[in-house]
């Protein structure tokens, strides 16, 4: 990326203030494209912010002057959605993921470290040189790489609090040297096909660098290979992932591939065709062996089968319906999707032309909404198709805001055509003529992929008038959400589409009767739509034969947290939570014990390890106090504190609540208040009773699903881990997680290596080489740096309370 | 169609809300955020009822009647939730129903009202009030330690209003004989101990200064009150800590109805501010607002009528003026109507001596 002077000026990151003329002309050029309707407010704000870096009040004023938007509306909307900022940001935005998986892996410490090292204060959210600002985001959807930090579009996974400088320098360096890589025209007979994952996790793992390396090597050795970018394979914990398929269709997968290993991997499988290149290869190879000891750590030196096996375990217990052909298809390729049976379901239903039979197929398959509540999809379609209106909408709900969930992102990124096909079938079945993809703006790749796919579909006559020669016409557009968890609720989502604050209203009236702009609107989750083509192709019985009595088919989960192998998994309903954690996830790290699984994010609850036999089933999970939710599954081990988890979720909900109804707005705040006092050892047992009462009152008294489920993390916590809550009321955190209740001590294991002294950001440790070090408790900020760097594990966490007694 | 509310069969029409059906049948359901003829909003949850068949609680103001519905509108669970809703609203209601000077006064003399009458030049009315409050007895101020002045918010800024001396001056200068009862339209005896009174919780220094907006900036202060001019000038430094809606507040009424105590500690969702529109005399005190949105819905968000709006999200979502507007332009024609519909004292007429 070049940073020309113009760029800098336009993004206002040098602290230079924009002139009124500049602001006004930017606003005018945006409005010229978007139109002046009230419902365009979110789009206008997004575009203006893109141009000006933030939303100066002069811009807001001018928008109101030249459009139908009112000052009240623009103030309400621009302060409701997290995406919009009213103060300038630094040139680069550091997004620190605060999702569940990142939280349990210490994202708070990361955030503190960045703020401290870059001298970013609360008042002025950018570094003194205006280079960086920090934004804590609900979830970047790369949970398997937790904790995750994203600077502009570059993602860093497994970040440690001590790595701030390293990361910042790497980022700045990469700014100068970024180059594009064009795919070359390829010949028909290849020596091999090399597949490289290009889902967000893979890209975060560095797959773009691998891709550019692949092209370089191909050119250098004149290798006759086809390099094929593919969607997410689901093995997100071991990215980047490289797969080499020989012409005999024999495939070998490599995980955690490093840039410097690409050459070796390729040359192991593919021999250069021309003679002089072979020579070059041999010499290079010899030289490498002598000159570098990298070979020792290379994955190629491991027996291929071993790698294959772990992967196989991961993939074996799964069943791929929504994610069918994952890792095989190029997400952008219409031809491949079609070749693998894509759009045949649409063709079939259009050919038969029988709307009601489509609905009855979906109904008898037993498919239930995958967004969380589990309403019967076929029934929803039936209600929607019964509404009479010349204009009817189908909305794909891709506003996946759960911290700790990334299923929808992956499906949208990897299978755009499948979801479009699902939407078209839903549109046909319910008699709709317009479709909207509502996708979070935090998922830029998903937005791009869907937009590209829609363009192809329109060219191929799969959208528009008289699709495939039938009398079915359907137009699809994309709407980018602006960052509000509550917009996952369908009535709030519709309010947001209409350019309002995303506040839900009581149903009925249901959107199926009166939805977007008053028209009947069917709102379906991404995964629900992704399953539709499979059901049509394979019949309802094939689908309903999978799963349990009331929960049919498969469910996609984002498995993350303290599990050895996280990733995106699709499992048959009815599989036990334990099987997922132990068989697919390969359990927790050595030396730790599996404590609980958090299912369903902020609306869900924790299922304790003893009850991990619970099957994945809508009713069973609800009975346990958790909830299917959209499918986030975060594994917790013995170092995770249940009070801290509950506090984390309530902090999330009290911020994400739309703020409309009393119980959700103030009730969750009061719950958070008690939990915070608990985590500081300042709450009593009487507070626990108050907390429990509040749980039920907030559940009963809230208007929409967000408030009604917000207490779930606390309810399950009190149900299964009451003794832990009570310990906090006595001032002890058994998991040693709550920072106010523990302190850091250096034990006799200390060898005096001084590493802790070097890493301590506040000078709480004195320099004493070859002597036991000590921590000055009055200075210690409990940043955890010393414990992380200590090579002797000499730094321990102890209860503050017990120490006092001694 | 027929629905059952508290075991009473009620005739309801399609599209009618449970609240309307209940009211038509003569049943009382309390509300705060509901406005007749306005779009339903359902934020306060004070009108909550139980839909027995679905086993769920819904706000009656926006749930539509459905055939064979069975509603519990007065059971224990329902009452408990209503009570909790009011308690939660109170826990972020950083406001005082009565001025602290009056609260601590052993006789509950209406000191803020006296000050307002004085500074409005209604000196006779002020004197009548002071005399009427003695109810024919002695003025308590002669022997009192002036707890009022100790509690006076002005004390924290510079010096308390010279309440005691003002009252004594008004009393002495009346020339009235002992034992004579004087009547005043402004005197309404009240037992404050029996009334619910909201507390304000902790306020910081910047917030403290917001009250200065209630009095003139250049007021001449008098410790000793020797002539009526002194009393009038000194009264001008009173910061009007009592609520305009003390006798006209639905939140206070509900708190009393449910016999609630003011919750301990108050949550802070935004700093206290007082905004005054000098053109229409509208005053907006955000900390008293319960976010019912009635004013927002009533004024209808029209370009020609710049109005208040919701800003932010979550716990900090509040009613505010638009980000870049001048408060003097707000509600040019709808001020009176919005003040009238506000269920609390968040909106009022700045210059009023009594009431909103």
pLDDT of residue A802: 66
Contact A75 B311 (CB under 8 A): yes
**Could you tell me which residues are beta bridge partners of residue A43?**
none
3-state secondary structure of A767: coil
A647-684 pLDDT, tens digit each: 999 999 999 999 999 999 999 999 999 999 999 999 99
Of A72, A484, A663, the CB nearest to B309: A72
Name which of A272-281, A293-302, A542-551, A797-806 the model is least confident about. Answer: A293-302
Tell which phi-psi region holds residue B16, choosing left (phi > 0), alpha (psi between -120 and 50) or beta.
Answer: beta
Of A71, A505, A703, the CB nearest to B322: A71
A376-400 in b/e burial notation, b at 16+ Cβ within 10 A? bbbebbbbbbebebeebbbbbbbbb
- Give the H/E segment covering residue A20: helix A20-34
Mutate which: A20, A55, A64, A72, vs B, most B CBs within 10 A: A72
Mutate which: A78, A483, A665, vs B, most B CBs within 10 A: A665
- Closest-CA residue to A631 (of A372, A458, A394, A452): A372
CA dist list (Å): B231 to B194, B213, B220, B237, B240: 32, 20, 10, 10, 16
Residues of A in contact with B58 (CB under 8 A): 506
Half-sphere exposure of A397 (CA within 13 A, CB side): 26
Contact B308 A72 (CB under 8 A): yes
- Closest-CA residue to A492 (of A408, A395, A404): A395
- Closest-CA residue to A656 (of A139, A112, A25, A70): A139
In angstroms, the CA A149 to CA A136 distance is: 9
Topology of A192-315 in CATH? Glutaredoxin (3.40.30)
Contact B45 A659 (CB under 8 A): no
Cα of B325 to nearest chain A Cα, Å: 8
Contact B314 A670 (CB under 8 A): no
- Closest-CA residue to A374 (of A604, A207, A135): A604
Contact A70 B301 (CB under 8 A): yes
pLDDT of residue A725: 97
A458-496 pLDDT, tens digit each: 999 999 999 999 999 999 999 999 989 999 999 999 999
Name which of A296-310, A414-428, A508-522, A742-756 the model is least confident about. Answer: A296-310
Under a CB-based contact definition with an 8 Å cutoff, are residues A643 and A672 in contact? Answer: no
CATH classification of A739-805 is 3.40.50.2300, yes or no? no
Under a CB-based contact definition with an 8 Å cutoff, are residues B108 and B71 in contact? Answer: no
Architecture of domain A92-176 in CATH? 3-Layer(aba) Sandwich (3.40)
In angstroms, the CA B260 to CA B89 distance is: 12
| pLDDT of A142 strictly over 80 | no
pLDDT of residue A373: 79
Q: Is B273 exposed, middle or buried (0-12, 13-18, 19+ CB in 10 A)?
A: middle
In angstroms, the CA B180 to CA B174 distance is: 12
Task: Name the band, by pLDDT with cuts 50, 70 and 90, for residue A32.
Answer: very high
More confident of the two residues A3 and A78: A78
Residues of A in contact with B49 (CB under 8 A): none
CATH class (in words) of the domain with range B270-349: alpha beta
pLDDT of residue A233: 67
The pair of structure tokens assigned to A26 is 């930017």
Instruction: Match domain A334-544 to its CATH number in 3.40.50.2000, 3.40.50.11540, 3.30.450.20, 3.40.710.10.
Output: 3.40.50.11540
* CB proximity list for A391: less than 8 A, separation 6 or greater: A433, A434, A519
Q: For the residues A327-343, what does the mean pLDDT come to? A: 88
Rounded percentage of chain A residues whose pLDDT exceeds 90: 57
pLDDT of residue A247: 74
Residues of A in contact with B296 (CB under 8 A): 72
| pLDDT of A301 strictly over 50 | no
Task: Name the band, by pLDDT with cuts 50, 70 and 90, for residue A176.
Answer: low
CATH code of the region B2-91: 3.10.20.740
The pair of structure tokens assigned to A504 is 């839900």
φ, ψ for residue A607, nearest 5 deg: -100, 120
Q: Are strands A149-151 and A132-137 parallel, antiparallel or unpaired?
A: unpaired
Instruction: Name the DSSP letter for residue A279.
Output: H
Whether B84 has its CB under 8 Å from any CB of chain A: the answer is yes
Task: Name the band, by pLDDT with cuts 50, 70 and 90, for residue A307.
Answer: very low
- Closest-CA residue to A785 (of A109, A145, A114): A109
3-state secondary structure of A799: strand
CA dist list (Å): A803 to A678, A800, B352: 19, 5, 61
| pLDDT of A2 strictly over 70 | no
Do the domains spanning A334-544 and A554-729 agree at the CATH topology level? no
In angstroms, the CA B298 to CA B324 distance is: 21
**Angle CA B190–B192–B198, to nearest 5:** 135
Under a CB-based contact definition with an 8 Å cutoff, are residues B313 and A669 in contact? Answer: no
Cα of A670 to nearest chain B Cα, Å: 8
- Closest-CA residue to A196 (of A325, A65, A327): A327
In angstroms, the CA A194 to CA A364 distance is: 41
* CB proximity list for A56: less than 8 A, separation 6 or greater: A18, A23, A86
* CB proximity list for A671: less than 8 A, separation 6 or greater: A650, A654, A691, A694, A695, A698, A710, A711, A714
- Give the H/E segment covering residue B318: strand B318-320
Sheet holding A92-97, edge to edge: A132-137, A92-97, A149-151, A154-156
Task: Name the band, by pLDDT with cuts 50, 70 and 90, for residue A185.
Answer: very low
Tell which phi-psi region holds residue A367, choosing left (phi > 0), alpha (psi between -120 and 50) or beta.
Answer: beta
In angstroms, the CA A703 to CA A741 distance is: 36
Cα of A29 to nearest chain B Cα, Å: 22
In angstroms, the CA B327 to CA B321 distance is: 7
Would you list the domain boundaries of chain A?
Answer: 5-80, 92-176, 192-315, 334-544, 554-729, 739-805
What are the start and end residues of each CATH 3.10.20.740 domain in chain B?
A: 2-91
Per-residue pLDDT of chain B (356 residues; tens, 9 = 90+): 999 999 999 999 999 999 999 999 999 999 999 999 999 899 999 999 999 999 999 999 999 999 989 999 999 999 999 999 999 999 999 999 999 999 999 999 999 999 999 999 999 999 999 999 998 888 999 999 999 999 999 999 999 999 999 999 999 998 888 778 899 999 999 999 999 999 999 999 999 999 999 987 677 899 999 999 999 999 999 999 999 999 999 999 999 999 999 998 899 999 999 999 999 999 999 999 999 999 999 999 899 999 999 999 999 999 999 998 899 999 999 999 999 999 999 999 998 999 99
Residues in chain B: 356
- Closest-CA residue to A60 (of A88, A32, A27): A27
- The residue behind tokens 């009595």 is A549
In angstroms, the CA A196 to CA A208 distance is: 9
ipTM: 0.95
- Give the H/E segment covering residue A559: strand A554-561
* CB proximity list for B209: less than 8 A, separation 6 or greater: B157
| pLDDT of A180 strictly over 70 | no
Architecture of domain A554-729 in CATH? Roll (3.10)
Omega cis (within 30) before A153: no
Average pLDDT over chain A reads 86
Residue/partner pairs of A760-765 with CB below 8 Å, 24 or more apart: A760/A785, A760/A786, A761/A113, A761/A116, A761/A117, A761/A785
In angstroms, the CA A399 to CA A437 distance is: 9
In angstroms, the CA A73 to CA A770 distance is: 65
Residues of B in contact with A670 (CB under 8 A): 88, 91, 267
Under a CB-based contact definition with an 8 Å cutoff, are residues A414 and A199 in contact? Answer: yes
Contact A659 B63 (CB under 8 A): no
pLDDT of residue A146: 84
pLDDT of residue A177: 54
pLDDT of residue A277: 55
Per-position DSSP letters for B187-215, written without gaps between them: -----GGGS---------HHHHHHGGGGS
* CB proximity list for A756: less than 8 A, separation 6 or greater: A746, A765, A773, A785, A786, A789, A790, A795
């Amino acid at each position: 990326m070049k940073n020309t002077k113009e760029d800098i000026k336009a993004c206002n990151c040098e602290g230079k203030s924009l002139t009124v003329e500049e602001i006004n002309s930017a606003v005018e050029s945006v409005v010229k494209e978007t139109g002046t309707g009230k419902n365009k407010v979110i789009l206008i704000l997004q575009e203006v912010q893109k141009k000006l870096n933030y939303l100066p009040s002069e811009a807001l004023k001018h928008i109101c002057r030249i459009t139908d938007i009112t000052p009240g509306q623009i103030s309400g909307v621009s302060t409701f959605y997290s995406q919009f900022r009213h103060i300038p940001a630094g040139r680069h935005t550091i997004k620190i993921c605060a999702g569940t998986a990142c939280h349990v892996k210490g994202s708070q410490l990361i955030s503190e470290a960045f703020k401290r090292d870059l001298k970013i204060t609360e008042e002025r959210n950018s570094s003194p040189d205006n280079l960086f600002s920090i934004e804590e985001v609900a979830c970047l959807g790369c949970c398997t790489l937790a904790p995750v930090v994203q600077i502009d579009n570059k993602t860093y996974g497994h970040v440690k609090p001590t790595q701030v400088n390293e990361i910042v320098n790497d980022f700045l360096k990469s700014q100068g040297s970024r180059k594009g890589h064009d795919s070359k025209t390829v010949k028909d007979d290849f020596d091999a096909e090399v597949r490289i994952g290009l889902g967000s996790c893979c890209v975060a793992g560095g797959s773009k660098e691998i891709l550019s390396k692949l092209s370089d090597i191909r050119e250098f050795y004149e290798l006759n290979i086809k390099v094929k970018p593919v969607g997410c394979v689901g093995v997100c914990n071991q990215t980047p992932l490289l797969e080499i398929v020989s012409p005999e269709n024999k495939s070998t997968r490599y995980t955690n591939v490093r840039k410097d290993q690409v050459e070796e991997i390729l040359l192991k499988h593919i021999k250069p065709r021309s003679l002089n290149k072979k020579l070059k290869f041999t010499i290079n190879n010899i030289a490498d062996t002598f000159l570098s000891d990298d070979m020792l750590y290379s994955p190629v030196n491991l027996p291929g089968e071993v790698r294959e096996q772990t992967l196989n375990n991961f993939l074996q217990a799964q069943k791929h319906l929504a994610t069918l052909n994952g890792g095989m298809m190029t997400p952008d390729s219409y031809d491949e999707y079609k070749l693998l049976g894509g759009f045949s379901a649409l063709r079939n239903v259009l050919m038969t032309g029988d709307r009601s039979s489509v609905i009855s197929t979906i109904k008898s398959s037993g498919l239930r909404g995958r967004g969380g509540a589990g309403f019967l999809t076929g029934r929803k379609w039936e209600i929607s198709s019964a509404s009479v209106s010349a204009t009817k909408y189908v909305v794909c709900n891709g506003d996946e805001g759960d911290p700790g969930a990334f299923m929808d992102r992956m499906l949208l990124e990897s299978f755009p055509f499948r979801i479009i096909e699902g939407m078209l079938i839903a549109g046909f079945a319910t008699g709709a003529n317009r479709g909207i993809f509502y996708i979070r703006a935090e998922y830029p790749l998903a937005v791009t992929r869907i937009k590209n796919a829609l363009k192809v579909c329109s060219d191929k006559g799969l959208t528009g008038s008289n699709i495939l020669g039938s009398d079915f016409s359907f137009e699809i557009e994309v709407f980018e959400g602006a960052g509000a968890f509550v917009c996952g609720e369908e009535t709030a989502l519709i309010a947001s589409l209409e350019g309002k604050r995303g506040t839900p209203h009581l149903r009925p009236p249901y959107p199926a009767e009166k939805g977007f702009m008053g028209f009947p609107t069917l709102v379906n989750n991404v995964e629900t739509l992704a399953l539709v083509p499979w059901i049509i192709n394979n019949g309802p019985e094939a689908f309903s034969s999978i799963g349990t009595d009331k929960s049919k088919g498969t469910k996609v989960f984002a498995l993350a947290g303290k599990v050895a192998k996280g990733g995106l998994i699709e499992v048959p309903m009815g599989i036990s939570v334990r099987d997922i954690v132990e068989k697919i996830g390969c359990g927790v790290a050595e030396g730790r014990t599996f404590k609980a699984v958090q299912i369903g994010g902020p609306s869900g609850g924790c299922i304790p390890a003893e009850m991990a036999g619970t099957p994945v089933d809508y009713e069973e999970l609800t009975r346990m106090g958790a909830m299917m939710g959209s499918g986030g599954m975060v594994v917790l081990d013995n170092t995770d504190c249940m009070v801290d988890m509950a506090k984390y979720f309530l902090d999330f909900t009290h911020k994400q609540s739309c703020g409309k109804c009393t119980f959700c707005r103030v009730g969750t705040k009061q719950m958070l208040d008690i939990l915070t006092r608990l985590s500081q050892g300042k709450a009593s047992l009487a507070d626990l009773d108050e907390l429990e009462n509040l749980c039920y009152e907030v559940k009963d008294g809230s208007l929409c699903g967000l408030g009604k489920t917000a207490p779930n993390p606390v309810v399950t916590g009190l149900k299964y881990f009451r003794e832990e809550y009570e310990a906090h009321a006595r001032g002890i955190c058994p998991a040693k997680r709550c920072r106010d209740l523990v302190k850091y001590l250096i034990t006799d294991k200390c060898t005096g290596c001084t590493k802790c002294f070097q890493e301590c950001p506040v000078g709480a440790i004195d320099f004493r080489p070859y002597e036991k070090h000590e921590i000055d408790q009055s200075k210690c900020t409990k940043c955890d740096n010393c414990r992380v760097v200590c090579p002797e594990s000499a730094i321990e966490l102890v209860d503050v309370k017990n120490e006092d007694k001694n | 169609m027929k629905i059952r509310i508290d075991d009473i069969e009620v005739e309801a029409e399609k599209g009618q809300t449970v609240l309307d059906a209940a009211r038509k049948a003569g049943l009382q359901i309390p509300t705060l955020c509901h406005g007749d003829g306005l779009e339903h909003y359902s934020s306060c949850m004070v009108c909550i009822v139980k839909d027995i068949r679905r086993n769920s609680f819904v706000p009656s103001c926006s749930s539509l009647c459905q055939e064979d519905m069975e509603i519990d509108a007065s059971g224990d669970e329902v009452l408990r939730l209503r009570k909790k809703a009011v308690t939660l609203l109170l826990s972020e209601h950083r406001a005082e129903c009565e001025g602290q000077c009056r609260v601590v006064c052993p006789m509950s003399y209406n000191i803020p009202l006296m000050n307002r009458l004085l500074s409005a030049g209604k000196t006779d009315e002020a004197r009548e009030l002071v005399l009427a409050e003695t109810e024919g007895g002695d003025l308590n101020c002669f022997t009192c330690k002036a707890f009022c002045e100790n509690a006076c918010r002005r004390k924290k800024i510079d010096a308390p209003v010279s309440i005691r001396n003002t009252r004594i001056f008004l009393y002495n200068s009346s020339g009235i004989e002992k034992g004579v009862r004087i009547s005043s339209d402004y005197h309404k005896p009240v037992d404050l101990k029996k009334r619910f009174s909201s507390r304000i919780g902790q306020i910081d220094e910047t917030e403290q200064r917001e009250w200065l907006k209630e009095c003139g900036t250049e007021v001449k202060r008098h410790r000793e009150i020797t002539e009526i001019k002194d009393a009038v000038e000194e009264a001008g430094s009173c910061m009007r800590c009592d609520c305009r809606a003390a006798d006209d507040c639905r939140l206070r009424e509900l708190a009393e109805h449910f016999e609630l105590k003011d919750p301990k500690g108050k949550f802070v969702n935004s700093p206290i501010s007082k905004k005054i529109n000098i053109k229409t005399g509208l005053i907006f005190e955000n900390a008293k607002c319960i976010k019912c949105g009635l004013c927002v819905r009533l004024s209808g968000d029209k370009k020609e009528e710049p109005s208040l709006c919701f800003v932010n999200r979550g716990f900090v979502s509040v009613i505010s003026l638009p980000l870049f507007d001048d408060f003097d332009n707000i509600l040019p024609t709808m001020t009176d109507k919005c003040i009238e519909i506000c269920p609390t004292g968040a909106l009022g007429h700045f210059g009023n001596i009594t009431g909103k």
